[in-house]
Amino acid sequence: KQWYQRRVRGSVDWSPISKTLASTGTDKSIKLWRQEGSSWVCSTTLEGGNTRTIRQVAWSPCGRKLATASFDSTTCIWEHSEEDGWELAATLEGHENEVKSVSWSVDGDYLASCSRDKSVWVWEIMDDEYECASVLQSHSQDVKKVVWHPADPLLFSASYDDTIKVYREFGDDWETADSFAGHSSTVWGLSFNKSGDKFVSCSDDRTLRIWCKDDTKNTKYACKSSVCGFHNRPIYDVSWGRHGYIATAAGDNAIRVFEQQGSSVLLAHLQEDAHQGDVNCVRWKGNLLASCGDDETVRIWSLET
């Protein structure tokens, strides 16, 4: 059921250490939302970082940092301290076009960014300094998403070239360790299950694909199932919750929730007209699901079991 909504456009992400939701919009700001009683209120607005629309916001594993991906071709880093609150700590430059996605490694030692310029950058964080450790150019087209593995030091990327790439550290640099093909059009996003032995990808081809780890090689995953026939428009985002439910954001204004039963993936719930426009982003936090769409709203839904 829908619980709450506020006007915003862009992306959403939950803090890993509290029930705080970060959202971004066309106003170039980050807003932090907290629950007060039955309502959600904007407790903080972070401004003065990016100069154009923020495409994505991501919390660090420690919950004290935020990274943004923006159309101004930069990534801004915000840090929180008890003494000074939130402050703009760094602006990372280097991409030639808009930055599409950012992601923190599970240990917080690395930050990845990707761009329309077809590149993936890996930033190493040492003593609060951000240094480019590698520029990876394995994709032949726009890179839409970067996601770190939840346990292993592996980075995954999804692209307009219809593929998923995997990267790992190699000596003092990073290398492309694997490439997965299966979708017939742009891969918009991917999300891991709790253990990281599976991930789900979503695509412009209107399908989900479930990939399972191949024990013969640490970086190898094989597509075990394709979930098709449920979406009639592109699927722009996917989130695999720790409870096992998979939520999708699609161009038909709807949110769908799937569950695995054995080797099958079944539709558990269809929320039509979840937004009055494309649904851009979905993120689980326990039994709460946050979404945002082209209608410039963020909505919070509760899972009833």
28 and 54 Cβ atoms separated by less than 8 Å: yes
pLDDT the model gives residue 305: 66
| Cα distances (angstroms) measured from residue 209 to each of 94, 214, 268 | 32, 15, 17
Which tokens sit at 75? 């990534």
Do the Cβ atoms of 174 and 168 come closer than 8 Å? yes
Please choose, from the candidates 107, 103, 212, 193, the residue with its C-alpha nearest in 3D space to the C-alpha of residue 148: 103
Q: What is the dihedral of CA 250, 98, 172, 127, to 10 degrees?
A: -100
Of 186, 184, 136, the residue nearest 160 (C-alpha): 186
* Spatial distance between the Cα atoms of 238 and 204, rounded to a whole number of angstroms: 12
User: Quick one: pLDDT at residue 236?
Assistant: 97
pLDDT, tens digit, 9 for 90 and up, residues 153-167: 999 999 999 999 999
Residue with tokens 């996917």: 238
HSE value, Cβ hemisphere, 13 Å, CA-based, for 191 = 23
**Residue 283 to residue 281: CA distance in whole angstroms:** 7
Please give the distance of CA 8 from its chain centroid, rounded to a whole number: 17
pLDDT computed for residue 7 by the predictor: 46
Give the pLDDT means over successive 10-residue stretches in the chain (305 positions): 53 96 92 92 94 95 97 97 93 96 97 97 94 97 97 96 96 94 97 96 98 80 94 97 95 96 90 95 96 92 85
User: Which run of H or E residues covers position 183?
Assistant: none
**Distances from the Cα of 91 to the Cαs of 41, 49, 68, 114, 219, in angstroms?**
28, 8, 10, 15, 31
